Amino acid sequence: MRIRHLLQIDAVFTLLVLTFLFGLVANAPAARKIDADPSQNYELEKIRGPWMISVATFQTTGLGGVSRSGKTQEQAAHELILELRRAGMPAYMYVHNSGKKQVTVTDRIGREEVKSLRKIKTVLVLAGNYNNIDDKLAQDSLKWIKKLNPKCLQAGVANTSSKKRPSPLNGAFLTVNPLLSDEEVSRNQRDPLLVKLNGGENYSLAENKGEYTLVIRHFRGKQVNVKPGKKGISLAAFLKDDNLVDAAYGARDLTTALRGNYDKQGVFNNIDAYVWHDHNESIVTVGSFSSANDPAIARYQKMFGPRLETFQDGSTNYQPGHFAVSGFGKGRDETRLWPFESNLQLVRVPRLR
């Protein structure tokens, strides 16, 4: 282990041990101007990724997880993040606290004693935002960063570089955003079936430029639209066709209606609605939001959410929002009624590429 300019190191308690797992650059692949404000912390968020590059893991052997010399974990991570960002690579900080754990130990004569392990804090630097592990840009960026030797790591830290691994960032690897659940990660993977289902779709959610959108309706089962004066179909005929095909048509119709001018009240006209087909359902969403705190979300929640209604007996209750149109369908002679979800769900926009 090579140590440069690390002052007054106590080998037992105060050595700041830094294992660098990924790197930084002067000419990052597809480099672009990225915000690099020293006053900002650039903490990791769920909207990043889902695949990222693990750049560095900063730990300390100091008593109580505190470094008494050299840089702290946060200082070293922050400097590395800024250097990465100035080189065109979006980088973020993630702090993991393991918490104190208790273990049972046994001495030589068989007596048991419960001891508490010290709390360990780990600070990670992650970079990049990739749809899957096979993303070409992700692989190119990984190779490029493994060769770097960032200036910010030349003093105040110790690293595990060696003759076989001369770069402190040689151990970089691709990983998933630690803030995402397995379900959230899998939802964002490039699935050939999803590409086929949604690739040529009009108003596809995959074309939504925002980070988030609001789900207003799930189409999981079947629906039948009967023209006035016409006889309904039999149960056997109803169960004959594919449920997913029926759900897809239902979602397309609602999306088309919301984007048109069918509402005589002028409420549900020219809405930025999108359709998405999944393995088990089709959904309709509205809005293109830059973040989960986008103020525009409240307007759509009010428009499509449940409404407080008063009944003839004077009682009140919340009822799901709905949208009814007439003059719909190929012959412009159908009436449709679409109830919206009682609990509107804000979700990340999926990406097909």
Q: What are phi and psi for residue 308, nearest 5 degrees?
A: -80, 120
User: What pLDDT sits at residue 69?
Assistant: 61
Report pLDDT digits (tens) over 189-211: 566 777 778 878 889 998 999 99
Percent of the chain scored above 70 by pLDDT? Answer: 68
- Banded model confidence at residue 167, pLDDT cuts 50, 70, 90: confident
* pLDDT score, position 21: 36
Sign of the alpha-carbon torsion through 263, 268, 270, 272? negative
| Per-residue confidence (pLDDT) for residue 55, from 0 to 100 | 92
On the 0-12 / 13-18 / 19+ scale of CB atoms within 10 A, 114 is exposed
By C-alpha distance, which of 121, 130, 177, 154 is closest to 24?
154
Residue 7 pLDDT exceeds 70: no
Q: What is the pLDDT of residue 229?
A: 62
Q: What is the mean pLDDT of residues 5-11?
A: 30
In tens, the pLDDT along 281-315 reads 899 999 999 998 899 999 999 999 888 777 778 77
- The pLDDT assigned to 84 comes to 95
162-171: long-range pairs with CB below 8 Å, 24+? 167/23, 168/18, 168/20, 168/23, 169/20, 169/21, 169/22, 169/23, 169/24, 169/55, 169/56, 169/145, 170/146, 171/19, 171/20, 171/21, 171/22, 171/146
Render pLDDT for 120-163 as a digit per residue (tens, 0 to 9).
678 999 999 988 888 889 999 999 889 888 998 888 777 665 56
Beta strand 91-97 pairing with 121-130: antiparallel
Out of 83-87, 100-104, 306-310, least confident range? 100-104
Mean pLDDT score, 3-27: 34
Handedness of CA 324, 329, 333, 334 (dihedral sign): negative
Question: Which residues, 6+ apart, have CB-to-CB distance to 13 below 8 Å?
Answer: 61, 62, 63, 68
More confident residue, 135 or 231: 135
Average pLDDT, the chain: 76
Q: Place 93 in a pLDDT band, splitting at 50, 70 and 90.
A: very high
How many whole angstroms separate alpha carbon 22 and alpha carbon 148?
8
Could you tell me the pTM of the whole model?
A: 0.46
